[in-house]
Every structure is written in C-alpha cells, then in structure tokens.
Amino acid sequence: MISMNKNVSLVAGGAGFIGSHLCRALLEQGHDVICLDNLQTAREVNLEMLEGHRAFSFIRADIVDPLPDAVTRRRDITRIYNLACAASPPQYQADPEHTMLTSVVGTDRLLRLAEQNDARFLLTSTSEVYGDPEAHPQREDYRGWVNCTGPRACYDEGKRAAEAIAFDFARLGRADVRVARIFNTYGPNMHPDDGRVISNFVCQALSGKDITIYGDGSQTRSFCYVSDMVDGLMRLMESDVADLQPINLGNPEEYSMMEVLELVRAQTGTRSRVIRKPLPIDDPRRRRPDIKRARTLLDWEPRVSLAEGLAITCAFFEKELFSQMPDYAFDGAIAGAASTASAGLAAE
C-alpha cells in the first residue's frame, strides 16, 4: 500500500535490468515506489527482491497505451523516471514500431502525468543518439551521426524525439525535466539473451559455447556498472540542473571488444573458441562518454572498475545458468571471487 507522506516515485520500465536496481535504491532511501512495466523484455524474477515491501507496488501496463487509472488518478507522485523501452538491438529491432512508439508516445504520456502532478521527470535517453560518432569522446553538445532510416533508427531516432518532447515541455514550463544519456551498463539482473556484449561474452564463456566477435573486435565501448548508473540517475533527479541540456552518464574507460573478451576469459577460465561474424549495420566503431558535466553538476563519476563489476556479473550469470542447466558444473569459484569483490565495494 502506497503511503501519502513521502516522495512517491513512478518508475516506468521498473522491472527491467536498470529499473529494478533503481526501484530497490529508491526504496532503500525511503521513497514509495510504483513500478510500471509491460514485461515485454523485463523478467518478473527481477521483482522478487521488491515484492512484499510495504512501499512497493507493481502495475502491469504499456506506456504506449493510455495510462491506467491507478496511475492517472493519483495526485501524490513527485518523481517520474522513464526507463521504459527495449534497449538492446535484438530486442528493439524485434518490434521496431513499438520501440518508436514507446519512446515518443510513451514519453508524451508520462510528461503529461508529470505536468498533472507537478512532478520531476527524468528521461533515460541513450548514447545511441550519437550514432556512429565522428567526434570522440562524445560530449553532450555533439549532434551525432545517425542513420535515420537504418535498422537501429527505431531506437536511435525514437530517443532523439523523446528528448525533443521532454525539452519542449520544459521550455513551455509544463514539466521539470532532466535527461540522462546512458552509455553501456551491465551487472546482475541482465537478461542472459539480451544481446549485449557483456551478457553475450559471459554466458557463452560459462556455458562452453563459441564466443562471438563481430567484425575484427577493434570497435570500442565503455562499461558502467549498474550501481554507479543508478547513483547517477538519482543524483540527476535530485539536482537543480535546469539548463535544458542532457547529461552523459557512463564510464569513460574505453575497451575494445577483444580486450573485454580477454577479461571475461580470465574471469571465467573458459576454453570456448572464438568465432567471427560480420559487423552489424550501423554498429558504432567507438563509444566513450565525456562526463565533465556529470562530474561538475552532479559530483558524480563511476567507482566500480570493469574487473570488479565483471566478477559480480559472472557470478550472477553462473547461478542463472546453473538453475537452468542441471548438468552445468557449478563449482562456486566465480561466486567466491564475486563475494570478495562485493565485500570490497561495500566497504567503500
């Protein structure tokens, strides 16, 4: 049951990978939390750690459709986080029309809800708005190099349109808006089959399957552990940033795909062979955030190294695979390493 005497946060996409961690962090800070999710790409298991909490409620709904009465009739919502959208290429390309509508129509519906409640609104945009960037690292004032008719456009252009709507609401004084451009994020609660590089490499390595490298493996990404990302989102929501500019959130340490593969190999001890496939259409060659604005305005930067985060993530996926594959040889070695890493992070 949601109480009426504290911040009430609505998290659209709250059953997803990042969303479920955000819901938990908000609960730990004393917020009442309404999780709104259609479970299209999220997993209900992500909600198990939240169910039963007196300040948590779940509503199954799609923000492409009119918002349910259980949400629109409320007048006590103080924070709205919009994380609702399939976020990995295989997921968002599976239903490109729905992906575009989620970003555009769904964002409009949530902005109107924010206006109605006089609530703060935070849109999680994406580094994909920069496309295959010609500028490196990517600053918030870089306008991007996006193929507006390619197979990734449903997501890239959908998020660019969502930013436009959000900032138009802000310019008109209709909503108190913040926009985060999220760079690659990883950690527990990721879907094993979501198609992201970390989940692909780790699950393939742990299960003994061939590890897939696209192109020559020289393309780069930066990887932000989920707890750092959630911290950044919450800092941005509670900040007084009001200059109608997005803020990059991500880890500025840059790794090639081959470097990530070697880290995963070292962490898992895999003997899987590597196979190569053609680079997907419009796949960015380089990706690294410039986070000067986040450092200056939010006093934020990532704390968890890729090695530390991978240890915890590998342990999570090992347990996932063990539960799904009875013959899988789970010896606890990775979990032990992850426990040590988790203890070190908790001590900071």
Return the H-helix or E-strand segment holding 220: strand 220-222
Of 81, 92, 130, 155, the catalytic one is 155
Return the H-helix or E-strand segment holding 297: helix 292-298
Please, which residues have CB within 8 angstroms of residue 279's CB and are 6 or more apart in sequence?
214, 215, 219
Tell me the C-alpha to C-alpha distance, in Å, between residue 118 and each of 80, 146, 170: 10, 34, 12
**Euclidean distance between CA atoms 319 and 321, whole angstroms:** 5
Q: Is 155 a catalytic residue?
A: yes
Answer for the pair 192, 199: CB distance below 8 angstroms, yes or no. Answer: yes
Q: How many CB atoms lie within 10 A of CB 175?
A: 25
Return the H-helix or E-strand segment holding 258: helix 257-268
**Euclidean distance between CA atoms 142 and 36, whole angstroms:** 32
| Beta bridge partner(s), residue 145 | 131
Indicate the burial class of 243 (C-beta count within 10 angstroms; 0-12, 13-18, 19 or more): exposed
Indicate the burial class of 236 (C-beta count within 10 angstroms; 0-12, 13-18, 19 or more): buried
Active site residues: 155
